[in-house]
Amino acid sequence: MRIPCPFCGDRGNEEFTVLGAAGLARPAPEADDAAWHDYVHLRDNPAGAHRELWHHVFGCRAWLVVERDTRTHAVLSVTPAKERAA
Amino acid sequence: MNAPLDPRTPADLALSRPAPAQPCRLPAGGLVDRGRGLSFTFDGRRLSGLAGDTLASALLANGIHLVGRSFKYHRPRGILSAGTEEPNALVELRSGARREPNTRATMAELFEGLEARSQNRWPSLGLDLGAVNGVFAPILAAGFYYKTFMWPPSFWEKLYEPLIRRAAGLGRAPEGADPDHYERMHAFCDVLVVGGGPAGLMAALAAGRAGARVILAEEDRELGGRLLAEAEEVDGMPGPAWVQSVEAELAAMPRVRLLRRTSAFAVLDHGVVGAVERVADHLPVPPAHLPRQRYWKIVARRIVLAAGAIERPVVFGGNDRPGVMLGGAVRAYLNRYAVRPGQSAVVFTAGDDGWRTVADLARAGASVEAVVDARSEIPAQQARLAARLGARLVAGGRITGTAGWHRIAAVEIGDDRGCTEGRGADLLAMGGGWTPAIHLSCHRGGKPRWDDALAAFLPGTTPPGMSVAGAAAGRFTTAAVLADGAREGAAAARDCGFAATEPQVPRAEDTPDARVALFHVPASRGKAFVDFQHDVTAKDVALAHREGFRSVEHVKRYTTLGMATDQGKTANVTGLAILAEIAGRSIPGTGTTVFRPPWTPVAIGTIAGHHRGKAFRPTRRTPTHAWAAANGATFVEVGPWLRAQWYARPGETEWQQSVAREVAAVRNAAGICDVSTLGKIEVTGPGAAALLDLVYANTISTLAVGRVRYGVMLREDGFVMDDGTVARIAEDRFFVTTTTANAGKVLQHMEFCHQVLRPDLDVSMISVTDAWAQVSIAGPRAREVVAGLVDPGPDLSNAALPHMAWRAVGVDGVPARLYRLSFSGELAYELGVPPDLGEAVMRRAVELGATPYGTEALAVLRIEKGHPAGGELNGQTTARDLGLGRMVSTKKDCIGRRLAERPALTDPARPVLVGLKPVDARTPLRAGAHLFMPGAEPVTANDQGYVTSACVSPTLGHPIALGLLSRGAERVGERVRVLDPVRGGDTEAEVCAPCFVDPEGVRTRG
């Protein structure tokens, strides 16, 4: 598997670790239990485009949002998590 | 008098005797080196071959067809093919630690002194008692084991399975550790060409001439593919000569890399291809500078799959008898190896292809007894050839049986009219047509498509970037294959941005192969094998269908068809055709064959490469490692680190003596311990304090410059993740330590918190673990030791540098940091210096009277103080459980705060940290033992907790422990039963506060 890191270029998956779904909004501390349960425990498992957080741990150490098709492993987009959130 | 023992092995002895001539070697021709004879042994028999032989061709040159016994029925088996698809001729090569089972004789290159042995026979290949399985064959059909060895269930593991495993099986694993080494290479190219036959050569030429970076991977030791095996001309010269000219041109291109003996075995995501290069398999022993095999991870922008095609055996009774070979293989032995695999041959063919075999056999001087052609109309030219050779021509013919003991002696031929006749023969060349080798096109999930005209599966959807050329794409004349390779190679180069033109396609044979579909002869006598390696017959496929297995995937698993080490290269399509015939469906309506990596078996050692033993991962050594080793240290692995566990002094025979002495030194004088392995992170920037407030459960932003705070961090689910200390170096600069085990994880987590959760914060962080040698100096005399270590000047008094403060100091004029921190509960400091000063600091501290102590003493000291560490920070404990609940700030948000408030995590009945003392003050307590109310039945429902850490306290003179006990804080003074059913401990302990020494902390603050 190859991931095009926006900072380092096309790199092998052995340089990365994957965390899981991206784009989860961390609830406010006062949010109810259901919102926190959802944020910490519940995940979608789509067949198709899926946004995930990958860490370029043996590279630039950027957290990246990798959009990947779970059926083909095609990488559709890669953006720094920092930019997404900003 | 006894003769001296002869150190030579039987193989050595065999090799010392002269070898007989090779009776089946043709006097001229072939691509073997007649000037270089090679000696080898097979089952201890000395034989000779030539350089350029495979083991299979050398055995055939010696007239040996019987090379093994089959998997299930122990049937005599010979050499079916001349290549990578070989299902039958599996042998053991070499001996001792280099013994390799299940090696295909058709792929093993001959070398001087090669030892080969047949497999799966006892006591000998010729007389195999396991062959009685053949007598019981009617009951050994598909599913036999599942149906028979059901009762009683306990017999399976002890009796049935070992017996079956002994009887059914192949080679033996080597006896010792593999003495060879393996390596991994990463390569990048524009165009990867898989297969070096005519299509692959043209593709590489087209892409190479355009200037693309090309890698050509060929499984054989020589480029050329079928051109080495066929007697045909390309561009007016013999095929092999044309191959040489192309090879010379490719070799001269600096951007083209030719990998011979290299099998591309897996197509992975995004143009990544795994390949194994057999660097030294063809040498008796790999030279010291070379690996045995090399695992290539090739990243290609475009892939041209030119893997050729595999000839299909025909399924008829007795088609597995030694001497029954594929027609294309017969031609390979005749033309490439100059070996005549039989003297009187019968050729069984689906069409034109077999007539090439007829011509080549005749040219090599073999007598062709009969040509059995499945077509009812035979072209006149072929009929004339048969007449000229005096061969009986059977149009619309079938082979309906074979006879012979260890080798074929006669065949039974049936024709259109239902007449049968027997005919003597020592070779039967068969061929049901060719199956494109599309395997690599399926590795990414692509489904093949059936082509009715070709009666073959062709690549369907190919992985992105892959195109298929030549016979693998269903082109079956040399001219078409060459043109296809040129076209696909040029197209691939163009896709990579090169201005590629198609090279001129050389003149070559261009007669299409006319044939009929021929898979199976239903009316034949004897066992008709579909999968030779797994002994699956046409009857087994029929039985599976009768028993209700309809899906080809189910039939495959029930019969094990295609599941042997050859993955059914010669069997899958035929099996599918037979199933389709029985079910009355079309082949594509019955199913497809799906191929997964690896294309051929790959040794685990090759994939592991150098990552084994000591090189499995780097060993990290502390700055004082050499000093510790010279001063009696025993080391222990802590994560990737080696740390001093204790320092034995002369006269100390038990490790406990060393540890007790070291602990006493810390409690009564001073000790020094290397704590450089703790993770160290420097966090800087205006947003640093806010980030640390998010990461840590307690508040960090209120920490004053010059002070240090103990910090606990939680996971978002509310459990404790790690602990450590935070020193504020400046307003916008913090120095954070983590536990040794979690150093990497904590940095990654902090980066996540910053980049994903709080990208608005202006902060950066970096690991400085390796930038500091850090030692802990602890004990009542620690201050005077430290004063002797640091450059004169700083006021080290309690008032100037109190507990949980830090200051800059100098060591030999170099800036250093002195932190007043205590893990041991004593007056203690941590001194951080550049790594190259670490050893000097250690040495000088010892000269100043400090006793070096290791991780065991460190553990005892912290258990005596009740500080949580690995045993307590086990991922299942909350801050409350560890008595740190008040540290979790309620005034601010932090990771894990919200879920730490879950009812289950705030349940007052949760086990919390307690101290434990054995009631009899003698019996040691052990970590892992469980806690019960005295008198309660020791069952899970009554379980009240467990011991997390235990030691014998030298300070108190008796065993102590830390544990997690339900409602433990309220139970000080109570007794609990400490039960260790696994290791057999059962004692009572008194619950106490989790601090055994100086609970008021007077010493720490002294």
The Cα B210–Cα B252 span in angstroms is 14
Does the beta-carbon distance from B748 to A80 stay under 8 Å?
Answer: no
DSSP code per residue over B321-356: STTEEEHHHHHHHHHTS-B---SEEEEEESBHHHHH
Place of tokens 């960090």: B700
Does the beta-carbon distance from A73 to B269 stay under 8 Å?
Answer: yes
Nearest chain A residue to B462 by CA distance is A72
Secondary structure of B745-765 as H, E, C letters: HHHHHHHHHHHHHCCCCCCEE
Each as own residue / partner, the long-range contacts of residues B697-701 (CB below 8 Å, 24 or more positions apart, any chain) are: B697/B879, B697/B884, B697/B887, B697/B888, B697/B889, B697/B894, B697/B895, B697/B896, B697/B897, B697/B900, B698/B887, B698/B888, B698/B889, B699/B889, B699/B891, B699/B892, B700/B726, B700/B734
Is the pLDDT at A85 greater than 50, yes or no?
A: no
Contact B332, B511 (CB under 8 A): no
Strand partners, B469: none
B427-431 and B324-326 strand pairing: parallel
Measuring CA to CA, which residue among B646, B1005, B711, B1006 is closest to residue B861?
B646
**B271 contacts chain A (CB < 8 A):** yes
**How many CB atoms are closer than 10 A to CB B835?**
16
Q: For residues B255, B260, B262 and B268, what is the CA-based torsion angle, rounded to 10 degrees? A: 20
3-state DSSP call for residue B661? helix
- Burial category of B417 from C-beta neighbours within 10 Å (exposed 0-12, middle 13-18, buried 19 and up): exposed
What b-and-e string marks burial along B429-465, b requiring 16 or more CB atoms within 10 Å of the CB?
bbbbbbbbbbbbbbbbebebebeeebbbbbbeebbeb
For B763, the token pair is 């902060």
Is the pLDDT at A86 greater than 50, yes or no?
A: no
**How many CB atoms are closer than 10 A to CB B3?**
5
Does the beta-carbon distance from A40 to B186 stay under 8 Å?
Answer: no
For B349, the token pair is 């063919």
Nearest chain B Cα distance for residue A50, angstroms: 16
- Phi first, then psi: give them for residue B206, nearest 5 degrees: -65, -45
Q: What is the pLDDT of residue B653?
A: 94
pLDDT tens column, B545-582: 999 998 888 999 999 999 998 999 999 999 999 999 99
Nearest chain B Cα distance for residue A13, angstroms: 10
Q: What is the pLDDT of residue B165?
A: 58
Contacts of B68 (CB under 8 A, 6+ apart): B77, B88, B89, B90, B91, B118, B119, B120, B121, B125
Q: What is the pLDDT of residue B159?
A: 63
Chosen for mutation from B715, B755, B757 (greatest number of chain A CBs closer than 10 Å) is B755
Contacts of B32 (CB under 8 A, 6+ apart): B50, B51, B52, B53, B57, B336, B337, B338
Q: Which of A13, A19, A36 is opposite residue B898, by nearest beta carbon? A: A36
The Cα A62–Cα B587 span in angstroms is 51
Does the beta-carbon distance from A81 to B759 stay under 8 Å?
Answer: yes
Q: What is the pLDDT of residue B1?
A: 41
What chain B holds in terms of domains, given with CATH numbers, is: 10-148 (3.10.20.440), 182-309+436-495 (3.50.50.60), 313-432 (3.50.50.60), 519-585 (1.10.10.1100), 620-675+774-827+851-861 (3.30.1360.120), 908-1006 (2.40.30.110)
Q: What is the pLDDT of residue B16?
A: 60
Q: For residues B665, B671, B674 and B675, what is the CA-based torsion angle, rounded to 10 degrees? A: 90
Q: What is the pLDDT of residue B143?
A: 62
On chain B, the residues whose CB falls within 8 A of the CB of A12 are: 186, 272, 297, 299
**CA B941 to the chain's CA centroid:** 43
Does the beta-carbon distance from B464 to A74 stay under 8 Å?
Answer: yes
Strand partners, B962: B915, B949
H or E stretch covering B380: helix B380-389
Does the beta-carbon distance from A1 to B716 stay under 8 Å?
Answer: no
3-state DSSP call for residue B126? coil
- The dihedral built from the CA positions of residue B309, B339, B411 and B381, taken in this order, carries a sign that is positive
Does the beta-carbon distance from A82 to B271 stay under 8 Å?
Answer: no
Size of interface A-B (CB pairs under 8 A): 63
What chain A holds in terms of domains, given with CATH numbers, is: 2-85 (3.30.2270.10)
For B647, the token pair is 């320092």
Measuring CA to CA, which residue among B467, B466, B465, B446 is closest to residue B457?
B446
For B874, the token pair is 């086990």
**A43 contacts chain B (CB < 8 A):** no
Measuring CA to CA, which residue among B791, B790, B741, B749 is closest to residue B769?
B741
**B297 contacts chain A (CB < 8 A):** yes
C-alpha gyration radius of chain A: 14
The Cα B853–Cα B778 span in angstroms is 10
Does the beta-carbon distance from B269 to A1 stay under 8 Å?
Answer: yes
Q: What is the pLDDT of residue B2?
A: 46
Contacts of A55 (CB under 8 A, 6+ apart): A16, A17, A18, A19, A61, A62, A63, A64, B748, B751, B752
The Cα B538–Cα B491 span in angstroms is 43
On chain B, the residues whose CB falls within 8 A of the CB of A14 are: none
Does the beta-carbon distance from A73 to B899 stay under 8 Å?
Answer: no
Nearest chain B Cα distance for residue A46, angstroms: 18
Secondary structure of B541-574 as H, E, C letters: HHHHHHCCCCCHHHHHHHHCCCCCCCCCCCCHHH
Nearest chain B residue to A2 by CA distance is B270
**B899 contacts chain A (CB < 8 A):** yes
Which residue ranges of chain B lie beneath pLDDT 50?
1-4
The Cα B577–Cα B570 span in angstroms is 13
For B969, the token pair is 């804080």
3-state DSSP call for residue B85? coil
The Cα B118–Cα B37 span in angstroms is 23
Contact B104, B86 (CB under 8 A): yes
